[in-house]
Structures are given as C-alpha cells and as structure tokens.
A and B are shown apart, each in its own frame.
Chain A
Amino acid sequence: MSGSLQLTGLTRVHAAGAPPALDDLTLAVPAGSCVAVLGPSGSGKSTVLRLTAGLDTPTRGSVHLDGRDLAGVVPERRGMAMVFQRPLLFPHLSVRDNVGFADRVRGLPRRQARERAEHHLELVQLGGFGSRPARALSGGQAQRVALARALAAEPRVLLLDEPFSALDTGLRQEMHELLADLRLRLAPTVLLVTHDPAEADALADTVAVLAAGRLQQLGPMRELYARPRSLAVSRLLGGRTEVPGTVTGGRHRSALGELELPAPAPEGPGVLVVRPEAVTLVAAADADARGTVVQVRRRGLRALVTVEVAGRGTEPAAVAAELSPGEEVAVGAEVGLRIPVTARCVVPPAGLADAREGASAHDRQR
C-alpha cells in the first residue's frame, strides 16, 4: 500500500512577479516513513501538499511516486488521500458512507463498501458510529472519521494538512497516539504538515523546516533541536538564547566570554544558540559565565529563567535556562551558568542568514 514519494525542485509562484510560495524544494519520503514539513503560517507548507496531491500545478519541479512522474496526472489518479485541518465530512452522507466513499467511487458494491467502512471505523476506534449522520459528531470524532475515510481509500501516500491543530490539547494527544498506532499497524507513507514542533517530534521520522517557501533544514527532530542551521530554525523550535559574537579558531567570543565549540564553525561573526534544557545553574566556581536572574516563568514543575550576563565592552547577553523540577531561584539572584560544550551551536547572524541558508539548502539537495 505504501509508496515512496520524491519531490524534486518543487517551485510554485502563485502570481507573476510575486515571490514564490514554494522555492526549489527537494524532499524524499521513503515508503512507510513519516516526514513532517514544519513551518510558520505562510511558509509554503500547505503548498507542498497541494502540489503533491495535484490540486495545484507546480511552476517548476516534479513529483515522483515510486519512480513515476506525476506531471499531468489528475488528483483522483494519484493514489493519495488528504486529511485537512477541518474534517470536511460530506454532510449529506452518514459516517459509514463517508468512510466508504472512495470504495463506492471505485465501483465497489454498496454492501461491500459499508463492510469495509465499518472495519476502518474500528481502526480509528469509532466502531458502531457508522449509521450516525456526519453532522452529529464532535470535532475529534469527525477528524477520526476523516482519517478513517482517507485510510479506506488505501492511498500510496497519506497527506496530512495540520489535521489536529483545530483540536484541544487532550484530543490532539489522543490523535497522535492513534496515528502512531496506525503507523505501526499499516505502515503508510505519510507527508505531514504542521506548525507545531511538538507534533512533528511526536509523529515524524524526519522533519523538513520550511520558512518563506525555502527549505531551511532537513533531519531528525533531535538533530534540529541540537544543531539548528539558522536563527529561523532555532526560533521556530522554541530556541530562546541568541548571543551574538565572533568565531575565531574554533572558539566563540561574546559577552559570555570565550567558549570552546564542539564542531568547526566558519570564522567571523556568528550567533551562539543554546537550548534552555541544556543550560544548568551552578556555583560560580564551576561556571562558564556569571549573571543575574532577570525573569522567572513557570512551566509546570520546572521554571524557565532568563539570566542576563553583562559583557565587557559588549552588549549584555540573555541566556535562558530550564531548571530541574523543584529547583527554585529568585529574580535578582547572582548565578553561574554551565553551558555544556556539546550543546553549543553557532549560526550565521540574521543579516547573513539568508544568503548562507540558501546556499546550504542547495548543498543538501545536490
């Protein structure tokens, strides 16, 4: 059932003269894997799905499914199914006939389509809901039915366009578990679009970060968290610490002092980014830098603190640190910061970012 999807140089310009909604995206979705396209709204991530599904035509580039070029192939013959942000159940049909729609369209007798629909409803834990009218469902149930309807079409690729973002947190969690379970059972090829890093982390094997229509970085979520390639990626993934400075001889100089880097970085200006989870508060003697707590925010059992480090002749730097559960510190306290070498990552400053990101995105694609 699952196919392997390859997008190559995919570009879409909506109106002549306008900047491309999607610019030269190359992305592979191996059979049975789940790839997430992560980006803020307007980053072109939904365009990726529309071009893949054949609902829009790419300005340049190609979509291959199992090695076959899909140019000119109409959406209904692509062997894909999509779940949108809204369930979009057909309101004039029962739940069962919604799920059986694809089977009916491909000519299966009504009774057989309904039997298969019941099976797929059970897959999404909605057995027995078949005879209800589509309008009589709650938001979460309707989205489950939409998922069952897409699965019943036995697509070679399942496209998910922010399918859970309209649901409240608890329901979203349930849907994540359901999808993970379905992946184990059916191993579908999934291309998922989301703006939520946690969702990408929970569901996808590989994540492609998209901003302003361009691929910023591609890799497993762990790698994106630990080694963002740009400020844009770091910010999108919830990075808070950005310390401007200069790289010389494998060391980063800034208000935090001179810090050794785990990997070679390009010489010249560079911004140090560190995940708040990696930073710990320590006694002054063991510290990489010392500063004052200027803000404390609660995050359940943990606290997220911002520590300001005054630089010598440079601007002060703000470092975010997530404390361990139960650990408390007051605003105004003088603290020492430990930033493990492996957690240090230098990205190009904002002005230089675009040029370098473009180049690196190209490099990856070659």
Chain B
Amino acid sequence: MSAPLLVSRLGSRLGRGALAFWLVLPLVPLLLWAAADRWSAPALLPQAWGTTGLAEARAAGAGAAAVRSAVLGTAVAVLATPLGALAGRALTSGALRAPGLVFAVLLSPLVLPPFAVALGLDVLLLRLRVPAEVGLVLLLTVAAIPYTTVVMRAAYAAHDRHHDEEARLLGASAWRVVRSVHLPLLAPAVAGAAFLAFLVGWSDYVVTLLVGGGRLVTLPLLVGAAASATGNDAQVAVLALSAVLPPVALLVVIGSIGRRARR
C-alpha cells in the first residue's frame, strides 16, 4: 500500500472515530447516572449502583408518556409523509408554475419561531373548539412537512418516471405501478421522511406545552419537568435515555431498509 493511501485511510478512520466519540460521549454520563443510586461530587464513578432512577421514572409516568409520544410521532409521520411525498412529486413534475415559491412556502414553518406560531394558533384552535390532541397533531404535521418535502423532493428528482411508464405499458394499472414499482423504488426515501416526521412529534416540547396546556404529558415534557427540579439526576437520566433510544433503534431499522434497496 502506498504511503499517501495509508495516510488517507488513517485520516478517514481517525475522523470516523472522532465523530463516533463526539456522538457517544454525552450518552456515557447519562448511562452512568441512570444506574447510580448515589454519586456525589468528587467521585469519578457512582458510589452506589441501583435501579432507583428507573423506579422513580416509572412512578413519574414515563411509560404512559412514552406511549403518548410514540402515538404523537406516529400520527405526525402518517400525515406528514404522504403530504411531503405529494409535495415533492408536484415540485419535481414541472407542472407547477412557480415551484421555487411553493417550495419556500412549504419550508416557511422552519423559519418562523415555533413559540410564536404555536401561541397564535393555540388561540385560534381554542376558538374553533378543536380538541387539544387533534390541534397538536395538526400543528406538528405542519412543522414536519418541510422535512418530508425536502426528502421526498430529492427522491423524486432522482426517480426516473420512465420506470412508471414502462410498468404501465407492461400492463400494470396506475395503482399497481404505485405498489409494485413506485413505492419499492422510493422506500428508502419514504422511510427517511417518515423517520424525520416521527422525530418532530416524538421530541416536541414547545408546541405540546402550549397547545396541550400542560395536561398532555409526553416524554419531552416529563424530561423537562424532571430536569427543572433538583436531586433526581438518576430519574432524569433514565427519562432522557428512554427519549433517545427508541429513535436510535428506529434509525437502525430504516438504515437496513436503505441498504437492502441499494443492493
């Protein structure tokens, strides 16, 4: 192996190592805290190990909050993914007169401060007597659409429509084309878009707090409440981990879908 190649490989490995370290580092104290019954200041490691944090988190309603977050994330993903797909398809179809403008409008939720938007729309939703849960899903769906649109737009830009035409000519109905050609080819992008939309619902704090009025307790709200109190670091660590791990697991699943599609 030549010297420059060796150096570049080494550099690449070092880079990847540093990146992994950067991502994993914050999780280390969390993991330690989650399993610590007692860990006072100068000690490098906890003095007493145990499951007090877990018990406290469960007592605080972590299970129910996680279920609520999952339902919220799923609902947002289910709504925002097809809408993003439709938007992405329309933006790349050439049928729109000003695709740039439409794209800007679809992206605007990213630019506007969510606090202001949520506060204003909360009043509107209250006046219209929309139930808090429905309103919350609607608002978060709007917040997720920019992400799903960006992902699906890129996917459609790379998608060759001639594949669909070929399938039609081979006898497939429009629906069959969607099922047998379109979706399999776009599956990695759809999974990626759905994942991002799920995260918007799963990890939202501000909008849930404002629209739910504090009665709708999701995992981020629980983490926030627990973290603002003192003396329960173990419980906060358990709650934080339970907010981080499910999306990571989901990401692994989606990554494998992408790999299978590329094979």
Contact = CB atoms under 8 A, between A and B. Distances in A.
Answer yes or no: do A and B interact.
yes
Interface of A: 53, 55, 74-78, 80-82, 84, 86, 88, 90-92, 101-102, 104-106, 133, 149-150, 153, 159
A88 B162 contact: yes
B39 to A, nearest CB: 51
A153 B160 contact: no
Residue from B167, B171, B172 having most chain A Cβ neighbours under 10 A:
B171
A55 B171 contact: no
A159 B169 CA distance: 10
Contact of B165 (A55, A92, A104): A55
Interface in B167-217: 167-174, 176, 180-181, 184-185
B181 A90 contact: yes
B172 A105 contact: yes
Contact of A84 (B166, B181, B263): B166
A88 B160 contact: yes
B162 A102 contact: no
Contacts of B171: 76-77, 102, 105-106, 153
Given A75-B169, A77-B171, 14 more contacts: A75-B165, A76-B170, A80-B169, A82-B165, A82-B166, A84-B162, A86-B162, A88-B163, A90-B167, A92-B184, A92-B261, A105-B170, A149-B170, A159-B169
Contact of A102 (B160, B165, B170, B184): B170
Interface residues of B, number: 20
Contacts of A101: 167, 170, 172, 180
A54 B261 CA distance: 31
A78 B165 CA distance: 13
Nearest to B181: A90
Contacts of A91: 185
B207 to A, nearest CB: 37
13 contacts: A53-B169, A55-B169, A74-B174, A75-B168, A75-B169, A76-B169, A76-B172, A82-B166, A82-B169, A88-B166, A101-B167, A105-B171, A106-B171
Given A86-B162, A91-B185, A105-B176, A133 B169 contact: no
B102 to A, nearest CB: 21
A75 B185 CA distance: 21
B168 A76 contact: yes
Contact of B170 (A55, A81, A86, A92): A81
Interface of B: 160, 162-163, 165-174, 176, 180-181, 184-185, 261, 263
Contacts of B184: 90, 92
A178 B185 CA distance: 31
A363 B181 CA distance: 46
Contact of A133 (B165, B167, B185, B263): B263
B220 to A, nearest CB: 37
Nearest to A153: B170
Residue from A55, A75, A88, A106 having most chain B Cβ neighbours under 10 A:
A75
Nearest to B177: A76
B180 A105 contact: yes
A105 B263 CA distance: 24
A149 B167 CA distance: 10
Contacts of B173: 74, 76
A90 B176 contact: no
Contacts of A82: 165-166, 169
B194 to A, nearest CB: 18
B185 A92 contact: yes
Contacts of A133: 263
B159 to A, nearest CB: 11
B182 to A, nearest CB: 10
Contacts of B163: 88, 90
A55 B165 CA distance: 7
Nearest to A104: B180
Nearest to B166: A88
Contacts of A105: 167, 170-172, 176, 180
A357 B12 CA distance: 66
A110 B89 CA distance: 32
Residue from A78, A81, A92, A102 having most chain B Cβ neighbours under 10 A:
A92
A153 B174 CA distance: 17
Q: Lowest 4 A-B CB distances belong to which pairs?
A: A102-B170, A75-B168, A92-B184, A105-B172
A92 B262 CA distance: 8
